Amino acid sequence: MKTIKCMMDHLYWADGRILDALEESGTKNKELLKLVRHVAVAERVWLSRLQGKGSAQYSLWEDAEDLTAIRTMFEENAEQYRVYIEGLEESELDEMVDYANQSGVPFRTSVRDLLLQVLLHGQYHRGQINRALRMESAEPVQVDYITFARL
């Protein structure tokens, strides 16, 4: 649990840093804003599944223009994940979760693997966002785990 908690703390930190970089860049790139919104919504989708709720109400790929609304979503996600993780016992990490993906296809996956999906999915897309910022001649932001660990 210690490792997962630490990695989740990194996720909250990295989400905030990438939002700061986007705000500082002043980007109006709709695809880039759609991508950061996608990360926030995906975090929410996986949390809903972990909580035994459906996720069909969430649309993973919608246009976004308001970084303030996206930041609020990330902050709400972080608070809800903190509550979820604090209530989670080590033994529950291997419990299986039944859920359906956004297309309605059923799956069964362990809590551990769902949490790892959340952690790795966001990191992948933060890398894409940083690359796009660099291509726009904006400053990318360091979001590597080791940078977080050194704080």
Q: Which pLDDT value is given to residue 117?
A: 97
Binding site for a divalent metal cation, residues? 38, 121, 125
Binding site, residues? 38, 121, 125
**Is 7 exposed, middle or buried (CB count within 10 Å of its CB: 0-12, 13-18, 19+)?**
middle
Q: Which pLDDT value is given to residue 23?
A: 95
Averaged pLDDT for residues 42-58: 95
> For the structural domain made of 2-149, what CATH number should be given?
1.20.120.450
Give the Cα separation of 19 and 4 in Å (integer).
23
Q: According to DSSP H, which parts of 87-136 are helical?
A: 111-135
Listed residue (64, 61, 45) closest to 53, CA to CA? 45
Domain boundaries, the chain: 2-149
**Residue 65 reports pLDDT greater than 90:** no
pLDDT band at 38 (very low <50, low <70, confident <90, very high): very high
Q: Which pLDDT value is given to residue 12?
A: 98
User: Mapping DSSP to helix (H, G, I), strand (E, B) and coil, where does residue 106 land?
Assistant: strand
Q: Is the dihedral of CA 82, 86, 92, 94 positive or negative?
A: positive
**Residue 50 reports pLDDT greater than 90:** yes
**Of residues 28 and 73, which shows the higher confidence score?**
73
**Residue 84 reports pLDDT greater than 90:** yes
**Residue 75 reports pLDDT greater than 90:** yes
Phi then psi dihedrals of residue 101, to 5 deg: -75, -175
Averaged pLDDT for residues 116-128: 96
Contact 11, 120 (CB under 8 A): no
